[in-house]
Amino acid sequence: MDVDVAVVGVGVAGAFALRALSKDLNVVGIDKRQTLGYPVECGEIIPTKKEMRELLPDLEDYSLFDIPKRFESNRTKAFAFILPNGKTYTVDFEMHVLRRDEFIQSIAHNSGHKLLLGLRVSDFDSNLHLSSGKEVKAKVVIASDGANSKIAKKLGVWKYELASAKQYVMKGVECDEDMIYMYVGNKIAPGGYAWIIPKGDGIANVGVGLRPKFAKISIHKALDTFVGEHPYSSQFLKKAEVIGKIGAVVPVSLPLERTVYGNVIFAGDSASMILSHVGAGIPTSMIAGDIAGKVVNRYFKEGCSLQDYESLWRRAMFDAMKRSNFIKNLWDKIASCDERLCKYFTLIGNKDMGMILRSRVPLKLKVMAPFISILNTLL
Ligand SMILES: Cc1cc2nc3c(=O)[nH]c(=O)nc-3n(C[C@H](O)[C@H](O)[C@H](O)COP(=O)(O)OP(=O)(O)OC[C@H]3O[C@@H](n4cnc5c(N)ncnc54)[C@H](O)[C@@H]3O)c2cc1C
């Protein structure tokens, strides 16, 4: 099959690329899943449009974040951030809890472009080789094939760190459904955090993300400890039952140094486009997919360079990603010991926590950063 554009992987970034790509182009979206976005391998939260203005202030257009009500299972008002000693910070921060699978399906199917579903891209040279044995020859490839990107591996550019995640969908969860709960500590989430994300009606995404390089426990043990034994989550989960489970990975590095290689554009997790300190990649993938589609339109219509994509997505969100990465690196230096972590947090106020969750670095963290190894010996 010969096409103008192949979108490889129709998750968040791929769906938004398809939506942006002109109907005048011959486009195909390819995904190994038969049902797009399903199973849901995600906590499903994204900031509301008001919060996106704070989070990514350099975006020109926020209309992508006008999320129709039908894709929202809940709207939360605040985060509770819970330390290993139980100290809790509460930060006002409005989030949509998405029906992520339906969201992706609707965006992709309404794009009007051809979709090849249930087919894996098994190899890539000048052509895309599909698991069916067929080949697709594309003038431009948008590689939105997620954290284990086949295309990035084939081009030899796949080199980011992956965090492991496991999540239960639980019913009978008795927490405040206006609140998203984030828990840190080495017994449950070394290098990451655990979460309870209420979807409404007592149903919640309950998960753990950890970084294998810091972990002495398996992800399975970490989640079961969090659900069954953790003193500050068990109050919400004691009557809860598991009704679904998934395991997945999320990139936690800065994005690829280059995201355009010849006629191949990387968008979303395939390029590690993530706010790494919280593992948030839905909004960044939406933006990347949208910019990729629009640049490709101009490439065909006006002959612009595909390299424009590189500068546009970086202008929109690279600064926030760098700040997020700074916070993550600082976290890595202070979080190996729960007791010391709690001592550090005596310096952190609620306002600082609000900044941190919005990928902003409080001045005191900037000042502390060069002295962390000395402080670690003192605390
Ligand atoms: C457990 C967990 C919880 C998370 N929670 C949140 C959250 O609450 N909020 C948030 O912002 N971020 C969250 N993230 C991160 C977020 O889910 C991702 O950053 C985001 O989905 C990336 O979108 P994407 O389109 O790049 O990749 P994906 O959504 O992963 O899409 C990739 C697509 O490519 C397809 N694919 C892969 N390989 C091939 C192939 N060889 N051939 C054909 N198709 C292929 C896949 O089937 C998939 O549909 C979470 C991640 C995990 C693992």
Exposure on the CB side of residue 274, measured as CA atoms within 13 A: 25
- pTM of this prediction exceeds 0.95: yes
Could you give all domains of the chain from N- to C-terminal order, each with its CATH number?
2-70+99-160+256-325 (3.50.50.60), 72-97+162-251 (3.30.9.10), 335-378 (no CATH)
Provide, rounded to the nearest whole percent, the portion of the chain with pLDDT above 90: 96
pLDDT at position 11 is 98
pLDDT at position 82 is 97
**Which of 71, 285, 321 should be mutated for ligand 1, with most atoms under 8 A from CB?**
285
pLDDT at position 126 is 86
Dump pLDDT digits (tens) for 204-240: 999 999 999 999 899 999 999 999 999 999 899 999 9
How far away, in angstroms, is 43 Cα from ligand 1 center? 11
* Whole-Å CA distances, 184 to 162, 246, 266, 273: 18, 21, 32, 23
Residue nearest atom 50 in ligand 1 by C-alpha distance? 42
Helical ranges in the chain per DSSP H: 12-20, 49-55, 100-110, 150-154, 219-228, 234-237, 282-302, 308-334, 338-344, 350-357, 363-368, 372-378
pLDDT tens, N- to C-terminus, the chain (379 residues): 999 999 999 999 999 999 999 999 999 999 999 999 999 999 999 999 999 999 999 898 999 999 999 999 999 999 999 999 999 999 999 999 999 999 999 999 999 999 999 999 999 998 999 999 999 999 999 999 999 999 999 999 998 999 999 999 999 999 999 999 999 999 999 999 999 999 999 999 999 999 999 998 999 999 999 999 999 998 999 999 999 999 999 999 999 999 999 999 999 999 999 999 999 999 999 999 999 999 999 999 999 999 999 999 999 999 999 999 999 999 999 999 999 999 999 999 999 999 999 999 999 999 999 999 888 888 8
How far away, in angstroms, is 215 Cα from ligand 1 center? 23
For residue 251, which atom of ligand 1 is closest to its CA?
Answer: 19
Which among 148, 379, 352, 191 is positioned nearest to 279, based on CA atoms? 191
Per-residue b or e along 311-329, where b marks 16 or more CB atoms closer than 10 Å to that residue's CB: ebbbebbbebbebbbbbbe
Dump pLDDT digits (tens) for 29-55: 999 999 999 999 999 999 999 999 999
User: Which residues make Cβ contacts (< 8 Å) with residue 163, sequence separation at least 6?
Assistant: 191, 192, 209, 210, 211, 212, 249, 250, 251, 252, 279
pLDDT at position 202 is 98
pLDDT at position 377 is 86
Residue nearest atom 17 in ligand 1 by C-alpha distance? 42
Dump pLDDT digits (tens) for 112-131: 999 999 999 999 998 999 99
Residues whose beta carbon lies within 6 Å of some atom of ligand 1 = 8-14, 30-33, 41-46, 120-121, 144-146, 150, 165, 167, 207, 248, 250, 268-270, 274, 279-283, 285
pLDDT at position 60 is 87
CA angle at residue 370 from 366 to 373, to 5 degrees?
125
H or E, element range at 65? none
Residue nearest atom 13 in ligand 1 by C-alpha distance? 280
CB of 167 closer than 8 Å to CB of 160: no
